[in-house]
Amino acid sequence: MKTKVIDFSKFSSIRIGPTVEVALIENDIVPEGYTVVGSANNLLVGPNPPPLMMLSKQYDFIRIKNGQLHIGAATPGGRVVSFCKKNDIANFEYFSKLPGTIGGMIKMNAGLKEFEIFNYLIAVRTQTGWIPKEQLEYGYRKTSINEVVFEAVFELHQGFSSERLEMFAKMRSNQPNDPSAGSCFKNPPGDYAGRLIEAVGLKGVRRGNMAFSEVHANFLVNYGGGTYEDALSLINEVQQKIFETFGISLQCEVVILGDTIVTIK
């Protein structure tokens, strides 16, 4: 099996993690006991992660077939936006500036407000074969998918909207530019994780070079050379304080690959 050496301190959007050999998936052959990685925009990788794998370039494609849009799971969302703009296709504008591959986006049911990748999804292809959306469970930033997604097929509608593109860009104007993995916690029902973090006075809390951003409280940011231990310790501190204050258990949106227990300093 081919492998690729990945330095997660450069590859991941939060700029944390070790340099490890990652198995490459080709011809739908998936090694057992490995965890799949997309483009690591939603990952916090510890010093001792489980064995990792990623899709090869074979899975980076966009095709129109029988009036539907087929997209390989290794395709970056940004490329889908460019394709849709060129071919006047609607409903994928929010992928712009939502960093990730189609596989990672489907697993996370990624989206922005009411725009979610499952909205126009028809089916995904895994080792089981084609699975229609109706046979999958999905909700806010979660799905029942526990296999590697190889490709997906979406409804095709005409009408790319530059206005929507602009609207989505504006919706991101309150996000920090520092390296992060996007929103650290999921919003609890009827509330916002960012609001709760502010309410317990932890907006801007810093440990080493990691912090909950001054710009948006729910973004765990790396000011340069921040460590996994500091990141986890901040996550635990916020979860504990919010539970003590409001009785709410904040769930991580960021996927942690490594030990999750770190003592708060």
Ligand X SMILES: Cc1cc2nc3c(=O)[nH]c(=O)nc-3n(C[C@H](O)[C@H](O)[C@H](O)COP(=O)(O)OP(=O)(O)OC[C@H]3O[C@@H](n4cnc5c(N)ncnc54)[C@H](O)[C@@H]3O)c2cc1C
Q: Is 46 a binder of ligand X (CB under 6 A)?
A: no
Collect all residues with Cβ–Cβ distance below 8 Å to 131 and sequence separation of at least 6: 123, 124, 125
Window contacting ligand X (CB under 6 A); options: 35-43, 129-137, 204-212, 224-232: 35-43
Dihedrals phi, psi of 228, to nearest 5 degrees: -60, -45
Residue 196 found at the interface with ligand X (CB under 6 A): no
| 71 lines the binding site for ligand X (CB under 6 A) | no
Catalytic site residue 183?
A: yes
Q: Which amino acid is at 116?
A: E
Please report the beta strands in 107-150, taking only residues with DSSP state E, as ranges in sequence order: 111-112, 115-116, 121-126, 129-132, 138-139, 142-143
Q: Which is nearer to ligand X, 203 or 241 (CB)?
A: 203
Q: Which of 214, 206, 141, 128 is nearest to 177 (CA)?
A: 214
Name which position in 20, 71, 181, 184 contacts ligand X (CB under 6 A).
181
Name the active-site residue from 141, 151, 180, 237. 141
Can you list the pairs that 114-119 forms with residues at least 24 positions away whose Cβ atoms lie under 8 Å?
A: 115/168, 118/143, 119/91
Q: How many Cβ atoms sit within 10 Å of the Cβ of residue 109?
A: 19
Verify whether residue 207 is a known catalytic residue. no
User: Which one among 41, 213, 222, 233 touches ligand X, defined by CB under 6 A?
Assistant: 41
Residue 43 within binding range of ligand X, rule CB under 6 A: yes
49 binds ligand X (CB under 6 A): no
What's the CA gap between 160 and 77, in Å, rounded? 15
Q: Is 81 in the site for ligand X (CB under 6 A)?
A: no
Catalytic pick among 183, 207, 213, 237: 183
By annotation, the residues acting in catalysis are: 141, 183, 253
Residues that bind ligand X (CB under 6 A): 13, 35-43, 55, 73, 98-101, 103-105, 107-108, 110-112, 145, 148-149, 180-182, 255
